[in-house]
Amino acid sequence: MVSSMKFRNLLIFLPALLGTLQAGAQQVIRTSDTLWSDGVTTHMYLNIEVPSGELFLRNSGTCGMSVSHLVSPDSQIRHRVERQHDRYGNEQRVVYFHPQRPTPPDAHRTHRLTTNSLQLADQLSHLDTYVREERCRSEYIADPTISTDLALNLGVGATRLDLSGLTLRNLSINSAFSDVVVMYTEPNQIEMEKMDIHAAKGDIFLKYLELARAKLVTVRNDMGETTLILGGSRPAPSTIYLQSGVGGCTLIVDEDQPVRVVLRTGMFVEVEAAEGFQVTDKHTLVNAAYQRKPEQATSVICTADFGTISLIEH
């Protein structure tokens, strides 16, 4: 009798289990796209839209394959991919990770906020409260073999970009109220023309930026902390413009990385420089590695309105 009851219970349990597994499989299919290149794509213009939540970007490690994936189980988040090709072999790809919830009533006015407004914190407080209710998590795993112009439009939350080993020709990040982390462990496969990062309110953290191989880098942070780390790799010389409104700016440099720092500061800015940096004129500092190999140097032009600029060697 006991054995027959166990058998009947098992028959009841198995269909329920299969239904759960099928539902799980459907959810994976619904929330992620494996995007294969069609063999004729020579360059990609990739635009990723994330109004709220966390975005992770990394290398797929597979020739011809990208994956757009929605990690969050929230059914109110919508994931959409649009693709177009032109006759020159370029692909236009737009990826949306959009919440279905209504946007804050004053969100359309945030583009008019400036760091000169004393009411900035008050005007943002309602948006910060709204953001904590939305924790969308999404990721884009990029094909490393196709040269790409990447544009990221971020709303609120956090963004972590591991751009190691990709083939980026241009990179643009526009963040309203999102913290931005960009890191490298391997160099960009081609020389990047330009990297542009702008945050209205949030922290920016850039690790081993020399591996981007970018000719020109511009980083603008209206309100928040900015940290830039340059490792010991010495690719082609580049120029980095750091512009900080309200908040600190920290430059951490490997002692073997030649660096020249030009300071353009206001009266409310304090500069703290490690002993390894020497002042060559009123507004310029260089480290010892620069004096040995100035032709390999990275130039950092740092403009700050209010806060502390810290120069550190390690």
Q: Is 219 helix (H, G, I), strand (E, B) or coil?
A: strand
Split at pLDDT 50, 70, 90, the class of 73 is low
DSSP bridge partners of 285: 261, 279
The residue with greater pLDDT, 104 or 161, is: 161
Mean pLDDT of the chain: 80
Domain edges within the chain: 34-313
Q: Are 276 and 252 in contact (CB under 8 A)?
A: no
C-alpha to C-alpha distance for 63 and 270, rounded to whole angstroms: 48
C-alpha to C-alpha distance for 213 and 189, rounded to whole angstroms: 9
C-alpha to C-alpha distance for 229 and 211, rounded to whole angstroms: 11
DSSP bridge partners of 204: 180, 226
Amino acid letter at 282?
Answer: K
Does 30 score more than 60 pLDDT?
Answer: no
Q: What is the DSSP letter of 247?
A: S
C-alpha to C-alpha distance for 36 and 8, rounded to whole angstroms: 46
The residue with greater pLDDT, 133 or 223, is: 223
Does 124 score more than 70 pLDDT?
Answer: no
Average pLDDT of 110-122?
39
Give whichever of 27-31, 201-205, 255-259 has the largest mean pLDDT: 201-205
Q: Kindly give, in sequence order, each residue whose CB lies less than 8 Å from that of residue 143, ignoring residues fewer than 6 positions away.
A: 35, 37, 44, 60, 62, 63, 64, 65, 66
Does 66 score more than 50 pLDDT?
Answer: yes
Does 108 score more than 70 pLDDT?
Answer: no
Does 106 score more than 80 pLDDT?
Answer: no
Please write the tens of the pLDDT for every residue from 184-218.
999 999 999 999 999 999 999 999 999 999 999 99
Amino acid letter at 52?
Answer: S
Split at pLDDT 50, 70, 90, the class of 128 is very low
Split at pLDDT 50, 70, 90, the class of 75 is low
Q: What is the DSSP letter of 180?
A: E
Mean pLDDT check: name the lowest of 12-21, 173-182, 189-198, 209-218: 12-21
Q: Quick one: what percent of the chain has pLDDT higher than 70?
A: 76
Does 22 score more than 50 pLDDT?
Answer: no
Quickly count: other Cβ atoms within 10 Å of residue 233's Cβ.
14
Q: Is 12 helix (H, G, I), strand (E, B) or coil?
A: helix
Q: What angle do CA 187, 222, 170 make, to 5 degrees?
A: 30
Q: Are 55 and 79 in contact (CB under 8 A)?
A: no
pLDDT value of residue 260? 93
C-alpha to C-alpha distance for 249 and 264, rounded to whole angstroms: 12
Please write the tens of the pLDDT for every residue from 234-253.
666 789 999 998 888 999 99
